[in-house]
Amino acid sequence: MNTGIVIKSTGSWYKIIPSTDKKNLPHWSEEDVVQARIKGKFRLAGLPITNPIAVGDVVDYELEQEEKGIIKTIHPRKNYVARQSPRKKHELHLLASNVDQAILVVSLKYPDLKLGFIDRFLLMTEPQDIPTIIVVNKIDLLEGDDFDLLGGLAMIYEKLGYQVLAVSATEGDGINQLKDLLKGKQSLISGQSGVGKSTLLNALEPNLSLKVAPISEYMGKGQHTTTFAEMHSLSFGGQIIDTPGIKTLSFNNLEPQVVAHNFREFFAASANCKFGGNCLHRNEPKCAVKQAVENGEISDIRYANYLQILEEIEAQNHWERHTKM
């Protein structure tokens, strides 16, 4: 039996880098790749998932012929990042597993930052305790009031303990700081299409030569150039898992209580809510979260995004009850 790390899944085949030492994955090249398939069923602790194996998984496999194998077991995951499947509302789609941190790339303009997107993304990483860094790309395009928006965002998220880094992939600003943050770690990089993930990765590691969307394409129909998650080896140490651009994130799979507990400052404040950890911070009496929003200690933007997510979950549940799905 051999052990390796999954670096790409294309549906039926998985690309694996043989390695017995997950902590010190060697810098690899295309010749090191082994292809493998799965036999049998793999499940994620009872949860329905669309893809049984994720990029980042440590797997045991048997070689059938040279460089072709069969995956037999998945080692327990340290963590995983999963989103609700865009096609099947009650299934999860694994983006990656065993990551040290997540890099959420956003842009304030071209494309505009979608309201609530950062908070929705954090709902994927927070339950798994995955440190998340917010990278604001394309700062070369900012002017006038845009800088207030940048400052406002940094204030909200830094206060909560998330690092915020402003960069320009095309001009090079902040690229060295980003490199330092990635060094020696396994990071997931994600964001909406067109925010400049591929451009950033090429700036960090020029020999990756990832395809960058021409400006006309990404402003239009949101063409995806990255269709499958893929792990890349960084020559300066570490790995980065590039993921397909995300359009929207929904959370029908979550209980409202789980949402409340994963807005970290709400959870901290809920100790002082009359109903404690059961409070959903809406119409409950003596709610410390609402109080904190009123006196400005909790961001009203975060609170509005939270309410929006709860409403969506409830609307979905209501609809399903009435259509007996």
Residues that bind Zn ion (CB under 5 A): 273, 279, 281, 287, 289
Q: How many residues bind Mg ion (CB under 5 A)?
A: 4
Q: How far is the CB of 226 from Mg ion (least distance, A)?
A: 4
Q: Are 119 and 77 in contact (CB under 8 A)?
A: no
The option from Zn ion, Mg ion, ligand GDP, none interacting with 279 (CB < 5 to 8 A, set by class) reads Zn ion
Residue type, 250: S
Residue type, 55: V
Q: Are 311 and 325 in contact (CB under 8 A)?
A: no
DSSP 8-state symbol, 129: T
Which range in 52-60, 137-145, 171-179, 196-204 contacts Mg ion by CB under 5 A? 196-204
44/141 with CB nearer ligand GDP? 141
Q: How far is the CB of 325 from Mg ion (least distance, A)?
A: 35
214/276 with CB nearer ligand GDP? 214
178/279 with CB nearer Zn ion? 279
3-state secondary structure of 38: strand
**Contact string 81-120 vs ligand GDP (x = CB under 6 A):** ----------------------------------------
Q: CA-to-CA distance for 59 and 95, rounded, in angstroms?
A: 16
Largest Cα–Cα separation, the chain = 66
Q: Return the H-helix or E-strand segment holding 72.
A: strand 68-74
Q: How far is the CB of 281 from Zn ion (least distance, A)?
A: 4
Q: CA-to-CA distance for 305 and 114, rounded, in angstroms?
A: 11
Contacts of 293 (CB under 8 A, 6+ apart): 299, 300, 303
Residues found near ligand GDP in the complex (CB under 6 A) = 137-138, 140-141, 168-170, 191, 193-199, 212-215, 218, 225, 245
Chain contacts with Mg ion (rule: CB under 5 A): 197-198, 225-226
